[in-house]
Amino acid sequence: MPHPTLSSKEIAQRGKELYQYRLRTQVETTDNNGKIIAIDLNTGDYAIDKDLLVAYDRLKAKQPNTVTWIARVGYDAVYAIDGTLIRTAE
């Protein structure tokens, strides 16, 4: 469900910025690469799991009013349709 005061574009922009500038260096580890990260845009809190729904549910349990942005750690997209996921530069 979209957040009533943020557009999809604003959620995407905030999520990318939060990941890139605050979280990337701490979450892009050998163990986490390829997993899903769900980030609460209000608090910066996050959950990581190999399963998208598990990551989201764990974050939602900690932050019930979460505005969530989801990404695949170390990659340019969560899923690839008829293509290949591209690793982000390290």
Is the pTM higher than 0.75? The answer reads yes
Q: Is the pLDDT of residue 3 over 80?
A: no
What is the length of the chain? Answer: 90
Q: How confident is the model at residue 90 (pLDDT cuts 50, 70, 90)?
A: low
pLDDT, mean of residues 69-73: 96
* Residue 74, SS3 per DSSP: coil
Structure tokens at 59: 């974050």
Q: How far does the chain reach from its first CA to its final CA, in angstroms?
A: 33
Q: Is the pLDDT of residue 66 over 90?
A: yes
pLDDT, mean of residues 14-35: 95
pLDDT digits (tens, 9 = 90+) for 42-56: 999 999 999 999 999
What's the pLDDT score for residue 25?
94
